[in-house]
Amino acid sequence: MGRNARKFARVDWKCRYVRFAAEVKMFRTPFDGTEITTVQQADEIAYCCHKLRSDILSTESAAGVYVEVQVLANPDNVSLAVVDFEAGGCSSVTFSPDTGAIIRERKIREAPRKVEGTYIQPLTTITSGQGFEGSMGLYLRGGLLAFYRQHVERGTEEKDPVVGSWECTGFVTDLSWAEGKRLTPCLAFRDVGDYHLRLTRIDAHPPIMPAQNKLRFDDSVWRSLDWDATEQDEAEE
């Protein structure tokens, strides 16, 4: 047996897999671990440790990857997004579970900040004056993205929590907006507060299979959502 073969034989693949399975469900610093309980800055972003290989997941033979986050406490607003920043890109696709909207954004310049964006609303708004609680997820397969939500209505002294059915946006966008081969799932928080979110699943099995959504084929139904800091400052003067 050669040196390389003996080295390969000594690798404890079981331990490596256990470590991988644990770390793949973690968030990056400063949100180390699998749960987030406190957000200390407005507009904070919590990036997942794992990345999605867009080149592999764009092939028809790939099984796909499903990522799910459980939202147990949400005092304000939290969204699920995927970004291409790892390869130096400046674009993102964000799902708002409370409004049911999906936003595609691309940063044109940093200072003064200018962002070009479009959005659609494949699901209805389900909360009013209360942060979304339940579960939300994303599914990437064949180069297409779909998002999920399962709303849990808070319980009271008089009634138990009500768990809703899973809803899916369908495949609403491809990856033509992304640069590079690595996409990073993340959570976007609007305000500070005591949250409780848990990264619960990363596998190939979404709760329901998404359908093709005709909205992704028609750019005319995506509404403009541009933001320019220069224009905003002039309007406030």
Read off the pLDDT of each residue in 118-143 and give the average, rounded to a whole number: 90
77 domain-assigned: yes
More confident residue, 230 or 43: 43
Q: Do the domain assignments include residue 3? A: no
Two tokens at 29? 């610093």
Q: Tell me, yes or no, whether 61 lies in a domain.
A: yes
Q: Residue 2: pLDDT band by 50, 70, 90 thresholds?
A: low
| Domains identified in the chain, total number | 1
What are the φ and ψ backbone dihedral angles of 226, each rounded to 5 degrees? Answer: -80, 155
Q: What is the mean pLDDT of the chain?
A: 85
Count CB-CB contacts under 10 A for residue 14: 8
Does residue 5 lie within any of the structural domains? no
Domain holding 207: CATH number?
2.60.120
Question: Is residue 227 predicted with pLDDT exceeding 90?
Answer: no
**pLDDT, tens digit (0-9, with 9 covering 90-100), for 165-216:** 999 999 999 898 999 899 999 999 999 999 999 999 999 999 999 987 665 6
Tell the residue number behind the tokens 């693949």, with chain if given: 13
Instruction: Please give the residue range of the domain that contains residue 229.
Output: 33-236
Res. 223: pLDDT tops 80: yes
Phi-psi region of 142 (alpha: psi -120 to 50; beta: other; left: phi over 0): left
Q: 3-class DSSP state for residue 214?
A: helix
Residue 12 domain-assigned (yes or no): no
**Is 11 within a domain?**
no
β-strand partners of 106: 91, 116
pLDDT at 157: 76
Q: How would residue 155 be classed by pLDDT, with cut points 50, 70 and 90?
A: confident
E strand or H helix at 21: helix 13-23
Domain assignment of residue 225, yes or no: yes
Indicate whether 220 belongs to any domain: yes
Q: Is the model's pLDDT at 13 over the cut of 70?
A: no
pLDDT at residue 88 in the model:
87
| Per-residue pLDDT tens over the stretch 160-174 | 889 999 999 999 998
Q: How confident is the model at residue 4 (pLDDT cuts 50, 70, 90)?
A: low
Burial label for 136, CB within 10 Å (0-12, 13-18, 19+), is: buried
Q: What is the pTM of this model?
A: 0.85
